[in-house]
Amino acid sequence: MSTSTTSIFTFVAQQMSIYFGIPMLIGGVLGGILNIIVFLSLQTFRQSSCAFYLTIMSIFNVGLLAAGLFSRIMISGFAIDWGQSSLFYCKFRLLLLTTFTLMSLVCICLATIDQYFATCSYPRWQQLCNFKLAYRLIIVFSFISTIHNIQYYLFYNQIQSPLTGKVSCIITNDIFSRYVSYWFNLVCIGFLPIIITVSFGSLAYYNVRQLTYRTLPLVRRELDKQLTAMVLVQVAMSFFTLTPFNILSALTLNKSIMNDQIAAVKIQASLTIGILLYYLTFATPFYIYICVSERFRRQLIYVLFEIHLNRWRRPRIVINQISPEF
């Protein structure tokens, strides 16, 4: 009975990876590209530091889905792991995966903090929302993230099991393994982004409700309302998609639970589903924006059909029907 239950868990996880992961990969990459096009095409967004963070986040999301979710689908859905045959892929995949994940979460945290400062009533705090500061912060965090994640390239290696002969791509340094399990996974890309975004998102929501009582330009007020609504709903979505993976990751650190073979198989299968939900955080921003903001839907239609379609449309050639005179 227990064996059949574990096999059911494994089968469900495999089917979820295929039939839920593939549409999420296609839709997430397409949505991320559309986000980048809209944010870069309109001057309103190009002058906003919050929109700049969302643009950079969309770029990292596309890279994360292409590098991380695709390989996860191949591993969990089709049992194809290129990390077993290529040492470079084993190392480089984890380097890209952790860098894109960390930077995407950094961007949504910065966007939430930016909207809190942008909607504050103190002019001094509003001055922190500027493009130059945003540009510098992205450069600094990108540099820190890359330097930090080089450790993945150094300490991930291919190890062959003496019992089964199966090659695995795992961490070979015990200290770094504990650091990744207890600090990086649970804190840096786990509960810390949730705490930051929920805290500053709640404060930004309170500030937005007070915007109608302040003397602000109409364009600035509408933009702040639009961006705050987009960011807040994304924060709420991130809370529900990140939390299951964090809880399951914490359970895998409990040795008393993982020593039970049947329980370990169930948790690992559930963790596969939790990872898919985790990727949902990075695949849904575009669809959140078009559902939440009517203004964003109008901007999307304007950018696609009024700007880019007209740019690629061929000019009409008028044929001269008058015969030449000799």
The 3-class SS string of 111-153 reads HHHHHHHHCCCCHHHHCCCCHHHHHHHHHHHHHHHHHHHHHHH
| CATH, domain range 7-302 | 1.20.1070.10
Give the whole-number percent of the chain exceeding pLDDT 70.
91
At residue 54, does pLDDT exceed 60? yes
CA distance 126 to 92: 40
DSSP string, 1-17: -HHHHHHHHHHHHHHHH
Q: What pLDDT was estimated at residue 323?
A: 47
State the residue for tokens 């044929």. 319
Using an 8 Å Cβ cutoff, are 296 and 38 in contact? yes
Could you state, in order of their start, the residue ranges of all structural domains in the chain?
7-302
What the block records as the tokens of 47 is 């002058």
pTM for this structure? Answer: 0.90
Most confidently modeled range among 19-28, 173-182, 201-210, 245-254: 19-28
DSSP SS3 for 54: helix
Nearest by Cα to 97 from 129, 114, 122, 75: 75
- Average pLDDT, stretch 319-326? 47
> Worst-scoring range by mean pLDDT, 34-43, 114-123, 187-196, 206-215?
206-215
Q: What angle do CA 286, 237, 181 make, to 5 degrees?
A: 110
Q: What pLDDT was estimated at residue 212?
A: 58
Using an 8 Å Cβ cutoff, are 283 and 65 in contact? yes
CA distance 111 to 129: 10
At residue 230, does pLDDT exceed 80? yes
Position 165: which residue type?
A: G
Q: C-alpha 232: how far from its chain's center?
A: 15
- Average pLDDT, stretch 213-223? 63
Using an 8 Å Cβ cutoff, are 290 and 226 in contact? no
DSSP string, 76-94: HHH---GGGT-HHHHHHHH
Bridge partner list, 170 = 157
Nearest by Cα to 40 from 66, 26, 59: 59
Give per-residue burial for 98-108: e unless 16+ CB within 10 Å, then b: bbbbbbbbbbb
CA distance 204 to 112: 8
DSSP SS3 for 171: strand
Q: What is the pLDDT of residues 134-153, one digit of tens each?
A: 999 999 999 999 999 999 98
